[in-house]
């Protein structure tokens, strides 16, 4: 298994945010993380990325416990894309992507042509290569997210964790981004709100509620009208879409 978690618990003070969560994701899979607000998705992602230490349980990368690994080592494998990764600095697109090479450098090491190539490839992948000299502050929301993903790709990770990457994006960019993510050869775990996107683009889904996993499996197995009523409190009719062959949810 590429990345897996065993009995993760995470709490803030007395409040339990992530309650005994176990999961595993196969290499190259795209796992969607669903659940209403406050279900613990963001926190789980952060624990998986090694940004928070769980109060119980452990996270494994190819059977190695990440708590025993150096942070830099983890960063060479796992990339994390935040929901609101913003800054006031007018940093250039290329410089943002270059940040992704930091886990592969020491404080004194210099920039190599290999680094250059990797950065350019990442920019190509997100179709931002021609804007590499543009300043951050002049980018739109969608462009910024793409740059963040390029930066994540520059880390040459085997796992990418994304926290609601399509929030604040217009529909065109939402679709574009999800296509990009699902097409990536790396293992991805994406926290999402849009259930139809989850159905279209994810290989597997996990649904969380109040910190626990209440359903996991393929989108076909997980997305049922009962679940939607229970967890998301919406009435819906689900059918297989004639257009892309995956489940499609009609909200009524």
Partner 1 sequence: MTSPVRNRGGMWQRLALFSAAVVLLLLVIAIGVGSGELAIPLRTIFFAVTNKLGLTAEPLNRIHETVIWDFRLSRALVAACSGAGLAICGAVLQSLLKNALAEPYVLGVSAGASTGAVAVVVLGIGTGAVSLSAGAFTGAFAAFAFVALLTNGARGGNERTILAGVAASQLFNAITAYSISTSASAQQARDVMFWLLGSFSGVRWPEFQLVLVVVMVGLAVCLWYAKALDAFTFGDDAAASLGIPVGYVRLMLFTVTALMTAAIVSMAGSIGFVGLVVPHVMRYFFGPLHRTLLVACAMMGAILMVLADIAARTVIAPQSLPVGVVTALVGVPFFAAILWRARRQL
Residues that bind partner 1 (CB under 8 A): 46, 49-51, 70-76, 78-80, 82, 85-92, 94-96, 99-100, 102-103, 105, 107, 111, 113, 116, 120, 132, 137-138, 155
* Residue (79 or 198) nearer to partner 1, CB: 79
- DSSP-derived letter for residue 168 is T
* Residue (63 or 133) nearer to partner 1, CB: 133
Q: Which of 88, 87, 42, 47 is nearest to 67 (CA)?
A: 47
* Residue (118 or 228) nearer to partner 1, CB: 118
* Residue (123 or 199) nearer to partner 1, CB: 123
CB of 26 to partner 1, least distance (A): 22
Environment class of 78 (CB within 10 Å of its CB; exposed 0-12, middle 13-18, buried 19+): buried
CB of 147 to partner 1, least distance (A): 10
Q: Which of 57, 66, 82 is nearest to 160 (CA)?
A: 82
* Residue (94 or 216) nearer to partner 1, CB: 94
* Residue (42 or 216) nearer to partner 1, CB: 42
- How many Å apart are CA 8 and CA 226, to the nearest integer? 27
* Residue (87 or 221) nearer to partner 1, CB: 87
CB 219 within 8 A of CB 201: no
Q: Cβ contacts of residue 50 below 8 Å, gap of 6+?
A: 59, 66, 67, 69, 71, 74, 78
CB of 109 to partner 1, least distance (A): 9
- How many Å apart are CA 199 and CA 197, to the nearest integer? 5
- How many Å apart are CA 185 and CA 160, to the nearest integer? 10
CB of 88 to partner 1, least distance (A): 6
With b meaning 16 or more CB within 10 Å and e meaning fewer, what string describes 108-143?
A: eeeeeeebeebbbebbebbebbebbebebeebeebb
CB of 21 to partner 1, least distance (A): 20
CB of 212 to partner 1, least distance (A): 24
Bridge partners of residue 31, in order along the sequence:
189, 204
CB of 15 to partner 1, least distance (A): 18
């Amino acid at each position: 298994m590429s990345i897996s978690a065993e009995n993760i618990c995470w709490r803030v003070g007395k409040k339990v945010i992530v309650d005994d969560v176990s999961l595993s994701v196969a290499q190259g899979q795209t796992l969607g993380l669903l659940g209403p607000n406050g279900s613990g998705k963001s926190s789980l992602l952060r624990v998986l990325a090694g940004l928070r230490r769980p109060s119980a349980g452990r996270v494994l990368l190819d059977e190695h416990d990440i708590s025993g690994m150096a942070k830099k080592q983890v960063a060479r494998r796992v990339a994390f894309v935040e929901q609101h990764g913003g800054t006031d600095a007018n940093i250039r697109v290329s410089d943002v992507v270059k940040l992704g090479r930091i886990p592969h450098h020491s404080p004194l090491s210099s920039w190599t042509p290999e680094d250059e190539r990797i950065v350019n490839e990442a920019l190509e992948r997100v179709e931002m290569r021609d804007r590499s000299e543009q300043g951050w502050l002049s980018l739109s929301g969608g462009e910024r997210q793409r740059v963040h993903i390029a930066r994540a790709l520059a880390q040459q990770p085997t796992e990418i964790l994304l926290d609601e990457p399509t929030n604040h994006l217009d529909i065109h960019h939402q679709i574009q981004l999800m296509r990009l993510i699902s097409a990536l050869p790396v293992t991805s775990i994406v926290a999402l709100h849009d259930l139809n996107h989850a159905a279209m683009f994810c290989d597997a889904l996990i649904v969380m509620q109040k910190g626990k996993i209440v359903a996991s499996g393929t989108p076909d197995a997980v997305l049922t009208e009962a679940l939607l009523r229970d967890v998301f409190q919406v009435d819906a009719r689900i059918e297989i879409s004639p257009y892309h062959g995956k489940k499609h949810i009609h909200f009524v």
